[in-house]
Amino acid sequence: MTTDFLIIGQGLAGTLLAYFLEQAGKSVHVVDQYDERAATQVAAGIINPITGRRYVKSWKVDELIPFARHTYRALESDLGISVYHERNILRALFNSREENDWMARIGEEGYAEYMLDAAGLEAYAEKTAPAFSYGEVRHSAQVEVGKLAGAYRAYLAEKKALTAEPFDYEELELTGSGVRYGGLEAGTAVFCEGHRACFNPYFNYLPFGGAKGEVLIVRIPDAGFAKILKHRVFIVPLQDGLYWVGSTYGWNYGDDNPTTEGREFLEGRLRDILTVPFEVVEHRAAIRPTVKDRRPFLGRHPEYDQLALFNGLGTKGASLGPFWAKHMADFLTENVTLERVVDISRFEVAS
Ligand SMILES: Cc1cc2nc3c(=O)[nH]c(=O)nc-3n(C[C@H](O)[C@H](O)[C@H](O)COP(=O)(O)OP(=O)(O)OC[C@H]3O[C@@H](n4cnc5c(N)ncnc54)[C@H](O)[C@@H]3O)c2cc1C
């Protein structure tokens, strides 16, 4: 069997890349071992244009958000699913300095589009402990990235374009015109393994980071929260009275298991915020594929042209993924020059 592209890993990165390659008329075959601890399966998928303690616009957000919205809407339509939910984010402000900073930022060019001064608390007014005040973020969203990957996986399986097993690097043969893997011949193998890329013998020279995150799925009976609340932790509405609560950030971790400390931290935060009871339904953990300079990894291997990588979506895969997957597909299919800031050639192979 032959295919244009062999994609290894089908989290959000592999899913979006496969989508754009197929859109460009190329054939793909995906090798992925489903892992409930993959970042894509655990993430809330929040798209948040205004981040950090200084309330600054996320990198390239004016381009990324419209492109993400368009891409997810197209995927929803193709796959017959609903995954992109536009939800404003209520941002708790804890003192007058934060409130002043928020108001000052709104006055700056390009910010009023994203930030509201008067926040609509709705159901949160009754069921949470009040903060000093609140700001509200527009053009934010929650993308059910795990559900999206699941639906794309089913689509790939249906057309026999999925091998659902661990990838064996030793089985990969580099040929004059591409790669051979099992019975498959492909022009290019593209690795999209998330944080597990550190086990990839061809690309492990890149400075992969990794940030462990723990989350709770909780039931808050009759809460009726429709917006996302950021009040030290995020509370994100799911279906059926369930909410995603997270997350922790761990830069030094031995494994990807949920921990007692993580659970206690999140439960403690939630107890401080909510004035109504909640029940923990699930406690999950995963590792975000972070990169030291916080920019995605795109490109071909410096020595083996038939090998490429799309990774490093870090903490912001939902917003970064569509735009950079398209850029990667354009690079692979039309030889478009990669933007230097995301090109893996910014890092040298260790000698
Ligand atoms: C707790 C938490 C909360 C987050 N919240 C948000 C958020 O709100 N908004 C946001 O934008 N981002 C968020 N993220 C980040 C987001 O999840 C990631 O940016 C994105 O999902 C990364 O996707 P990926 O495909 O690169 O990696 P992954 O999701 O890790 O997918 C990699 C896939 O490759 C497979 N794989 C790897 N190696 C092999 C192999 N050798 N053989 C076969 N299969 C293999 C894995 O099983 C997996 O299916 C969060 C992450 C975490 C952990």
- Any idea what the CATH number is for the domain that residue 268 is in? 3.30.9.10
Q: For ligand 1, is residue 43 a contact (CB within 6 Å)?
A: yes
According to DSSP, the residues that pair with 173 across neighbouring strands are 180
**175 and 314 housed in the same domain:** yes
**107 and 174 housed in the same domain:** no
At which residue do the structure tokens 């997270």 appear? 246
**310 and 198 housed in the same domain:** yes
Compute the distance from residue 95 Cα to the ligand 1 centre, in Å.
Answer: 35
> Distance (Å, rounded) from C-alpha 11 to C-alpha 224?
30
pLDDT at 348: 83
CA-31 nearest atom, ligand 1: 43
Q: For ligand 1, is residue 319 a contact (CB within 6 Å)?
A: yes
pLDDT at 349: 77
**pLDDT tens digits for range 132-141:** 999 999 999 9
How many domains in the chain? 3
Q: Which parts of the chain sit beneath pLDDT 70? A: 350-351
Q: For ligand 1, is residue 167 a contact (CB within 6 Å)?
A: yes
pLDDT at 350: 63
Q: For ligand 1, is residue 344 a contact (CB within 6 Å)?
A: no
> Distance (Å, rounded) from C-alpha 65 to C-alpha 177?
37
Atom 31 of ligand 1, residue of closest alpha carbon: 11
**161 and 268 housed in the same domain:** no
**190 and 135 housed in the same domain:** no
**282 and 217 housed in the same domain:** yes
Q: For ligand 1, is residue 90 a contact (CB within 6 Å)?
A: no
Compute the distance from residue 54 Cα to the ligand 1 centre, in Å.
Answer: 27
Which residues form the domain of 35?
A: 2-42+146-205+292-346
Q: For ligand 1, is residue 322 a contact (CB within 6 Å)?
A: no
Compute the distance from residue 339 Cα to the ligand 1 centre, in Å.
Answer: 23
Record the tokens describing residue 91, joined without a space: 């941002």
Residue to mutate, 17, 143, 145, 190, ligand 1, most ligand atoms under 8 Å from C-beta? 145
CA-169 nearest atom, ligand 1: 41
**Assigned domain for 30 exists:** yes
**226 and 274 housed in the same domain:** yes
Residue 237 buriedness (CB in 10 A; 0-12 / 13-18 / 19+) = buried
DSSP designation for 46: E
**Assigned domain for 56 exists:** no
**272 and 245 housed in the same domain:** yes
Record the tokens describing residue 81, joined without a space: 């699913």
Compute the distance from residue 203 Cα to the ligand 1 centre, in Å.
Answer: 17
Domain boundary among 288, 310, 330: 288
> Distance (Å, rounded) from C-alpha 142 to C-alpha 159?
29
According to DSSP, the residues that pair with 142 across neighbouring strands are 46, 85
**Assigned domain for 305 exists:** yes
Domain boundary among 141, 165, 185: 141
Record the tokens describing residue 186, joined without a space: 């492909």
φ/ψ (deg, to 5) at 28? -130, 150
> Distance (Å, rounded) from C-alpha 331 to C-alpha 333?
6
